[in-house]
Amino acid sequence: MTRRYLMCRPTYFAVDYVINPWMDPSTPVDVDRAIAQWTTLADTYRRLGHTVELIEPIPGLPDMVFAANGATVIDGTVLGSQFRYPERTEEGPAYLNWFARNGFVTQEAKSTNEGEGDLLLTERYLLAGTGFRTDLDAHSQAQELFGRPVITLQLVDPRFYHLDTALTVLGGPAGVAYLPQAFSAGSRKVLRQLFPDAIIAREEDAAVLGLNAVSDGHRVVLPVQARGLAAQLTERGYQPVGVDLSELRKAGGGPKCCTLEVRD
């Protein structure tokens, strides 16, 4: 199934502050390498038959490359983002304005809500993460706006500060892949009930943001370093497509972070 994605070139990418455990301003960042890796990701989507649209990067917003955090789009309706940290505040209006200019119905976030970082759509549910970034009130707003049943999941490991770093929506036979220890005990029970056939990821794959992946139901674009997860996907009938985003990982991002799905 072909998908439509919104992405933002990492023209102004940098690690100048710390808002997650992956970030270390003392570690050099190679912007040209980040751009090259991002370009390969975008080209990979196009090669797989997907549509890639671009939002213009804004100087002073180094994390704007992580488009997934910019909004949530379901059935042509857009729920905007409101960021936890002031360093990213201006990204929310930038993304919402892009959608408004392009004819989408939009609604501003009423509380902290970091887009598809914490709101992941499955066939039946909208999985909603909380614990580090997105507030519970945002889950209620999403349910009212989209009319989809929302399942709240509590994140407990600061390395996996967004839901999309601890869980991948795959579609197909497994439904999802996730790292159990990234979730509270109650949330693990919920995931086991909802997705009894899920792929259970290993710590070493999650540690390279292997779960920050993008699936079209069969092809799964994930960090090339997540070799164990790629093998698990193959065993279950999926086609893993590895990409190297190691430069962007210095800010805590992988393929999914760079990719906002636009569902018309």
Give catalytic residues, as residue numbers: 162, 257
232 Cβ contact list (under 8 Å, min separation 6)? 177, 199, 201
pLDDT value of residue 1: 79
Q: Mean pLDDT of all residues in the chain?
A: 98
- Which pairs count as long-range contacts for 128-132, CB under 8 Å and 24+ apart, including other chains? 128/152, 128/153, 128/163, 129/153, 129/154, 129/155, 129/162, 129/163, 129/164, 129/166, 129/167, 130/154, 130/155, 131/155, 131/156, 131/184, 132/84, 132/158, 132/161, 132/162
Domain extents in the chain: 4-261
* CA 76/CA 19 separation, integer angstroms: 31
Containing H/E element for 134? none
pTM of the full structure: 0.97
Note the pLDDT tens digit of each residue in 194-223: 999 999 999 999 999 999 999 999 999 999
pLDDT at 3: 98
Residue of 192, 167, 172, 177 whose CA lies nearest to 237: 172
Q: What are the angstrom distances between the C-alpha of 81 and each of 24, 44, 144?
A: 25, 27, 16
Tens of pLDDT, residue by residue over 101-147, are 999 999 999 999 999 999 999 999 999 999 999 999 999 999 999 99
User: Over 90: is that where the pLDDT of 33 sits?
Assistant: yes
Question: CA-to-CA distance for 214 and 216, rounded, in angstroms?
Answer: 7
Q: What is the pLDDT of residue 20?
A: 98
- What top-level class would CATH report for the domain 4-261? alpha beta
Phi, psi for residue 104 in degrees, rounded to 5? -85, 150
Q: For 149-193, how does the pLDDT look when each residue is reduced to its tens digit (9 = 90+)? A: 999 999 999 999 999 999 999 999 999 999 999 999 999 999 999
